[in-house]
Structure 1
């Protein structure tokens, strides 16, 4: 089977890129013809290793400069394409040149399965993809988190896909409501396969990770951790990630020093997880928080805001982690304090967390994708044999 995955920037290091490459690698290992197509290329080297057997190509090479001059915002809007709405976070990537390159490639597809991986790409595929290819729109975020312009575009366009895949049961219900009659399938992302060292529950280290953006709620986590450790000043919180809020968060971390540190990006993040005793997820909203699942695979107990969506679909409260009401600083502070003070509970929750995330292994998730792809291919072959009336 020919399977193509369309990513915005396959040379980056985001969670979607990693999960798509993990899936592509499994499909290639299973004997399928797999290609990952990057809309743009802004780096020479990839951020993640490309799995064996997976081909990689880019549609628009921007390594010598981004074809988007610095102009007044009103003029810049005129240089953007016509399909991707401004509310899509990656809208600035989609100049007329980029949209045209994607459209040409989509129209030229003649077989197999196409998987697109964010609203901008989904919307372009809905408009331009060849009718000879089975189309799957991956949604990595819950519907309510999208801006209104994106929601309107989703309602208009996603019904053209053979299937829309989502990460959680809550997402499935939401998309079934807004896309009546469409095929909505829940397939969670899979944890990247590797041997995992178990967490050091005696460590006085808590860890968090994600882009330094408002969504991740690190502005809530830092004061909560600072309060939780008033009587436990040997404990440290290490936050991994980069992003637009770094300066603001750095000022907060400096005020909480030495108990809070911004660590930037790590090439040995799994070693950092194994050296920690506790993981904290403070997001205002999520899709399916893969870093949290990675932490659980190391046997780390998790304290998480029960935000929409994801944490509550993975964690059972006080069985394999602790859920607290969204954006409730007092509850987050109490939960962190309680786990700091209770090593046996940390061990109990962490041991169960390892068992919970077995459902997110590639061995558990990949067959769901393969079943869907085979079903779509069979249905498309049947449709091709149906005589025109």
Structure 2
């Protein structure tokens, strides 16, 4: 089988890129399929994750991001022109390589990939939640505009052979779509080593952005530190951390927070922690939660859309608290810090839950979806 993935680029350290790496490697190395990844913004940059050398990469050189700092009218004009070029280049490549399956990661190609008649079945993946564009907006008018915009996406989504979302929660938000199905992310391997849960270290991972809510986490952590001054918070991720550094100084957390850059040896960070905290305003199905389960970490998380409610709950490897409630997030962190027996029990439950997301289990579902789509 010949499988094509379309994505902006594979140089970032994000969860979507990691998921793609895991899936592409599995299809290529374990199942022997031909896998091609088509990008638009790579610009010769190295892949962040370790993709199999059997996988072929093609960059179309569209480079939409070159125009992001120009005024809105120029951006719209350039984007229109580049989208047309993108369509023609992608069509030419697909008609040349003749894939069986072509998958959009819901990047810029999602609005037109289904129109390309190269003989392949078209699948659309969505790695966030339907509500994300509305949640991101702080202005009521912009929220309304984004609400209307997101709902117009359904007309495009219906045109794909299959539409894959990550959680039951998000599936319900999309409404009555005949082509929709749920396949969660997987972990590439079940870890045989679990965190000892003895270190006075709380971990959080993600890119510095509004979505990840590290401003909320730092405010909650400031409350926890009042009682637990010998504990530290480690935040690992890229992005512009200036606002985080300023907030750390304002809250006088310099001795209790460590900021680290992304690393390919992230397992060491999980094993060196005793609690994983997620403060996101929204997600899709965060890989970090599944990985934290895999290493036996108790999880404290906002019940944000979407993901945490599918993954954890009380007595199921973690604690969920009301979204944006800083005080409750701090209390939950304190609860896990102060109750060693409960922390260890949560860790054991986390390991059991992680098996549901094993690569073999999830990739079997993908293989079955491909076979169904191709009528094999």
Gaps of 5+ in 2: 134-145
* CA drift at 1:242: 1.8
Q: Which moved more, 1:144-153 or 1:155-164?
A: 144-153
Say if 2:49 is the partner of 1:48: yes
* CA drift at 1:304: 0.4
Aligned residue number for residue 137 of structure 1: 124
5 Å-filtered alignment, 1:82-101, equals: 96-101=84-89
Q: 1:275 to 1:167 in 2, by over 3 A?
A: same
Q: Which has the higher contact order (CA 8 A, sep 6+)?
A: 2
Aligned residue number for residue 13 of structure 1: 13
* CA drift at 1:200: 2.7
Instruction: Pick the aligned partner of 1:184 from 177, 180, 186.
Output: 180
Aligned residue number for residue 155 of structure 1: 154
Say if 2:204 is the partner of 1:208: yes
Count of aligned pairs: 361
Match of 2:175, SS state, is helix
Take 1:280 and 1:302, find their aligned partners in 2: how far apart are those partners? 6
* CA drift at 1:163: 0.5
8 Å CA contact 1:119, 1:139 repeated in 2: no
8 Å CA contact 1:207, 1:278 repeated in 2: yes
Structure 2 length normalisation: TM-score? 0.89
RMSD of aligned residue pairs (Cα, Å):
2.2
* CA drift at 1:26: 1.1
Take 1:197 and 1:69, find their aligned partners in 2: how far apart are those partners? 43
Instruction: Pick the aligned partner of 1:368 from 346, 365, 369.
Output: 365
Aligned residue number for residue 231 of structure 1: 227
Q: 1:69 to 1:5 in 2, by over 3 A?
A: closer
Match of 1:141, SS state, is coil
Say if 2:280 is the partner of 1:322: no
Instruction: Pick the aligned partner of 2:108 from 114, 120, 132.
Output: 120
Say if 2:2 is the partner of 1:2: yes
Aligned residue number for residue 85 of structure 1: none
Structure 1 length normalisation: TM-score? 0.87
* CA drift at 1:49: 1.0
Match of 1:8, SS state, is coil
Gaps of 5+ in 1: 83-93, 380-389
5 Å-filtered alignment, 1:35-114, equals: 35-60=36-61, 68=67, 71-81=70-80, 96-106=84-94, 110-114=98-102
Aligned residue number for residue 302 of structure 2: 305
* CA drift at 1:55: 2.0
Aligned residue number for residue 219 of structure 1: 215
Say if 2:217 is the partner of 1:252: no
* CA drift at 1:42: 2.5
